[in-house]
Amino acid sequence: MDQVLKIYIKTNFFYGQEVNVIGSWFRLHFIENEGMAFGMKFGERWGKIFLTLFRLVAVCWGFYFIQTTLIKQKYANGLILCSSLILAGAMGNLVDSLVYGKIFTESSFHKAHFVPWGQGYSELLHGKVVDMLYFPMFSGTFPSWFPIWGNEPFEFFRPVFNLADFSISFGVITILVFQNKLLHKKEVRGAMEIRDLNKI
């Protein structure tokens, strides 16, 4: 789903184009970034290479970890699902970084299109990550007494992101919130449930 939406946006929107989906608080707004989730950046050329290689190693390790640890050792299905969401999100952004620069023209005032391998806008490992989900739910101005940002404008939620970012964030937040229920092996949880029933 992440890649389908990214390819649709990249080939049908010019850079910076914005379309309201639900009122003005949910919009498709096409931008690209060279860094991490939610438009954050990490260094320049070598930072980009390092980040892409890190994603590649993390995805390979993620497959290994889910298979050999979470599945074989029978951890809770919820933990496996959340870990898979994190892995899928990492893969989604990895594809952009790895190959988009090789297979797409530059996004600008014209819509990008596919080109033969190697005729794209950048080198291998230097592709830009496509973002499009924008939720500016409300905006205003910080009160004058507010530290650092007094009288400055603010907007919630400002970052533009993609489905891969959402998948990673949802998986991580769910694990953190429900860690007491998820970070157990199935046999352990079953034994705990039996013990709790015996107490009753």
Give the residue numbers annotated as catalytic, written as ranges.
131, 165
Instruction: Write the burial class of residue 128 (CB in 10 Å: 0-12 exposed, 13-18 middle, 19+ buried).
Output: buried
Return the structure tokens found at 26.
């949910």
| Secondary structure of residue 161 in the 3-state scheme | strand
The contacts of residue 104 (CB under 8 Å, 6+ apart) are: 10, 112, 113, 114, 115, 120, 121, 127
Instruction: Write the burial class of residue 165 (CB in 10 Å: 0-12 exposed, 13-18 middle, 19+ buried).
Output: buried
Residue 174 parent element (H or E): helix 163-177
